[in-house]
Structure 1
Amino acid sequence: MTASPSTSAVAVAPATESVPARAFLPALEGMRGLAALGVLLTHVAFQTGAAGTPVLGRVWGRFDMAVAVFFALSGFLLWRPHAAAARGLGSAPTLGYYLRHRAARILPAYWVVVCAVLVLLPSAAGTAGLRVWVSNLALLQVFVPLTLTDGLTQMWSLSVEVAFYLVLPLLAFAVVWLRGSTARWRVPVLLGLAAVSLSWNFIPVPTPDAIHSDNWLPGYLPWFAMGMVLAELSFGSERLSKWRRPAGNQPLMWVIALIAFLISATDIGGPAGLTHAQPWQYAAKMALGAIIGFALLAPLVLGDPTSGHRWLKSRVAATIGRWSYGIFLWHLAVLWVVFPVFGILPFSGDFGYVLVLTIALTLPVAAASYALIEEPVRQWARRRDRAKPAKEVEEEDRLAAP
């Protein structure tokens, strides 16, 4: 899974204001950080055998639903400019700008991790042939058999997210005609896309051995779509206000998210462990994940940004949120090192001990990734855009106009 390396957390002003305003929303950053730790937790639970314990094991294992939060975050943040442009409140980024900044955000830090793991991690380096190198560097692991290797198996979700990045401009173009007074139909269209995507696992897609099409983008579109719906609602007309009010109610939404999470931890959300789910279980998991992602993020996006969410806005939560991409990238490699260094056998217990060790060692590595790779590259990309000639900027703005 991925820590949703999207653009800075932004949100509109409260729904009661007539003109939405862009503003940094610390609660989104905090939620991203907690979701990253949730991903780490579920992998530690699996590697220590805790995911196989009765009752609680199913709960620990289902923290993989944090992926739904990350995908919804990406859907919201990256679709928001298009939702605004459809209502004449701004312009969407040009394709070149969008792709350039997506690449700058995810690729440099990712490539460093891939090279470090395939060179330094013994269990990965021993199987790192040319096919493994090329597939991982190109984020094609979900399409090429037997290329998800130790320390990098979580990257399947980053491959899915990058596929979404590439498809998003096509989705935006497909609904570009829904603007102005017809923009209200964008939410039903997105919900329809999510509903249709729930049937993906029922389609007999031919795949090579060891490759499952349920790890491809179409199956996860419902999770991205929920964030896109939130973006539309945040700019919606007064006709949508009746939906914004309950969606912005944090206690209500988070109770709904908790119920959906607990249901997903049963056989409805699929069997425990790595057993392949039945198509109906896969569809149920996608639907429950869509509910979880929407319900956790909606109060942060549609509620009053000046109140509540104190712990998500804290300095600690914000810091972990900034490091969340690095946490996602490095935590499995760190976990593989923890076992031999501390003399712990995999799948033999010590869940709490291994969890604390993995968090304690992952955080400084993630902090270094952010400070030395992620942020410098992002600043370079921003300086490059500011240094563009005025004529080039005007041309980009013209091409981006709705």
Structure 2
Amino acid sequence: MASRDRRFPLFDAMRALAALSIFAYHCAYQLHGFSGPAGRYLAQLNIGVPVFFLISGFLLYRPFVRARRDHDRRPSLRAYAVRRAARIVPTYWVALPIIAVWLGLSAQVFTPEGVLTNFGFGQLYRSSTLTGGVGQAWTLDIEVTFYALLPLVAVLVRRVAARRGSLLSSELAMCGALFAAGVGWQVLITQTIGPAQASFFPLLLALPGWLDHFAIGMALAVLSVAREGRGLPAPGRLLQRQPWLWWLGAAAAYYGAARPGVLGHGRTLPLLGVHELRLAAAACILAPALGVTARPHPFQRALGWRPLLWVGQVSYGLYLWHLVMVRKLDDAGLPQAIGRPTYIAAALAAALAAAAASFYLVERPILRLAHRRTRTGAPRAPGAGAGAGAADPSATAADLGDDHAPVPPGTGSAAPASPALPGADG
């Protein structure tokens, strides 16, 4: 996570909340919490995945939109590529071999095919490799493909809009098309392939199935740029003055996602409904970070708590390291020896220690080097003023991930509860 964008000072808080929700999700799974009375609600704690993807869509697309609005040349694609690679690759490549050895996965990871698959961000595309190495890193595979797609989308919409359409209408039309493509992909896969088939989850979880999430983040970026220096309409002013109202909406959407039975029967409608309700909840969670004024609401000041912002800074490392800590401390018998609450606190402390080491020793130095090497007088490349999600987590989001989680995000309780399937991304 490079230098932060001062216009959006609470994005680190959003990253922190997303990463902590994924941590809580995996603790609940490891402690068999999904089978209890609150299981259906705990199973939606991987809401951090959509939050990270929204952050990536917003922060990475915003510089392209600003350049178009200001009639500047497009941000440097070389700087974009170098900074995106620096953001996601080195930290993951350091964590992967350590975690693979620690979890006893050397035979899967350190073969010619395993190296290509895991180090090459390809584990998502086969069910047999989906949870190999750092199991939650399948979400990084989605982020990497989004990184590659985004400049192509920006070029296409700019060329099409040069002939017709205003910035706002053409950009939102593009976002609408991406959203429709994502929904269409979900319907296609759930209608034509069953969960029992090996190709179901790799196809369902690939980038096309998440285009609706990235599209909403990109649409928020378009609206953010379009409204710069202009007032908000009355409903927008109310929500800006009372940002906690957004979280009421998030709670309602979260509740709906946790109770997919109200969405109908069969396979497609509940799966798609849960997927979109989680997206709605994530957008409402993120919204208070988009409209911080010179006099922030107490709710926003609470989100600016320094320890929370620090967790957001190291959220990529937290995403990569948290699950191995959760699993290893459980294997050591800590939940029984010291009690579940203390076990969870110990796992979080261990994960944050690893995340801090990862950030200060690997991530931050490499990001600073990448920024120095790509600094020019041209418009800043996407990510120059802010890291993406943490999945890239960022990210993605990273848009900010998960290892060996039971229910892939967006599939809801209809997916089989099995440690062979990941469940979140950072």
Normalised-by-shorter TM-score class = 0.7 to 0.9
String of CA shifts for 1:8-48, please: whole Å, max 9, x gaps. 543xxxxxxxxxxxx34321111111110111110111111
1:283: which partner in 2? 272
**Structure 1, residues 274-309: CA drift from partner, whole Å, max 9, x if none?**
xxx922222212211221222122222134254121
**TM-score by structure 2 length?**
0.78
Are 2:121 and 1:139 equivalent residues in the alignment?
A: yes
Aligned length in residues: 367
Provide the identity percentage: 30
- Matched residue, 1:214: 204
Residue 22 of structure 2 corresponds to residue 39 of structure 1:
yes
Paired residues of 1:151 and 1:333 also in contact (CA < 8 A): no
1:364 corresponding residue in structure 2? 353
1:135-214 paired onto structure 2 within 5 Å: 135-149=117-131, 152-177=134-159, 178=161, 182-185=166-169, 186-204=171-189, 209=199, 211-214=201-204
Greater shift after overlay, 82-91 or 203-212?
Answer: 203-212
Alignment of 1:5-154 (within 5 A): 8-10=3-5, 23-54=6-37, 56-88=38-70, 91-122=73-104, 124-128=105-109, 129-149=111-131, 152-154=134-136
Shift of 1:211: 4.7
Question: Per the alignment, do residues 368 and 89 of structure 1 end up closer, same or farther by CA in structure 2, a change over 3 Å counting?
Answer: farther
Deviates more, 1:260-269 or 1:133-142: 260-269
Partner SS for 1:26: coil
Distance 1:166 1:350 in 2: 45
Pairwise CA distance, 1:239: 9.6
| Counterpart secondary structure, 1:307 | coil
> Once the two structures are superposed, what CA deviation does each residue of 1:231-279 show, in whole Å capped at 9, x if it has no partner?
11111156974674355351221111111011111125999xxxxx922
Q: Aligned in 2, Cα 1:117/1:316: closer, same or farther, shift over 3 Å?
A: same
Distance 1:291 1:398, change over 3 A: closer
Greater RCO (Cα-Cα under 8 Å, separation 6 or more)? 2
How far apart, CA to CA, are the structure 1 residues paired with 2:154 and 2:86? 22
Q: Shift of the alpha carbon at 1:339?
A: 1.7
Contact 2:76 2:380 in 1 (8 A): no
The separation in 1 between residues aligned to 2:232 and 2:158, in whole angstroms, is 20
Q: Which amino acid aligns with 1:139?
A: F
CA distance in 2, matches of 1:369, 1:269: 43
Give the 3-state SS of the residue equivalent to 1:380 in structure 2: helix
The answer (yes or no) to whether the contact 2:13–2:312 under 8 Å persists in 1 is: yes
- Alpha-carbon RMSD: 3.1
Residue 249 of structure 2 corresponds to which residue in structure 1? 256
Question: How far apart are residue 190 of structure 1 and its match?
Answer: 1.0
Change (3 A) 1:49 1:336: same
Structure 1 residue corresponding to 2:316, chosen from 305, 309, 325: 325
Tell me if structure 2 keeps the 8 A contact 1:261–1:292: yes
- Which residues of structure 1 form unaligned runs of 5+? 11-22, 272-276, 387-392
Give the partner amino acid of 2:157.
V
Unpaired stretches in structure 2, ≥5 consecutive residues: 383-426
- The TM-score, its normalising length taken from structure 1, stands at 0.82
SS of residue paired to 1:42:
helix
Aligned equivalents of 1:398 and 1:261: distance in 2?
Answer: 36
| Distance in 2 between residues matched to 1:327 and 1:26, nearest whole Å | 20
Mean Cα displacement is larger for which, 247-256 or 29-38?
247-256
Runs of 4+ in structure 1 over 4 Å off: 204-211, 237-244, 268-271, 348-351, 396-400
Letter of the 1:51 counterpart:
F
8 A contact 2:82–2:374 mirrored in 1: no
SS at match of 2:154: helix
1:245 aligns with 2:231: no
Cα distance change, pair 9–281 in 1 and its aligned pair in 2 (3 A) = farther
> Given residue 255 of structure 1, which amino acid in structure 2 is its aligned partner?
L
Q: Distance in 2 between the 1:319 and 1:313 partners?
A: 10
Q: Match for residue 220 of structure 2?
A: 230
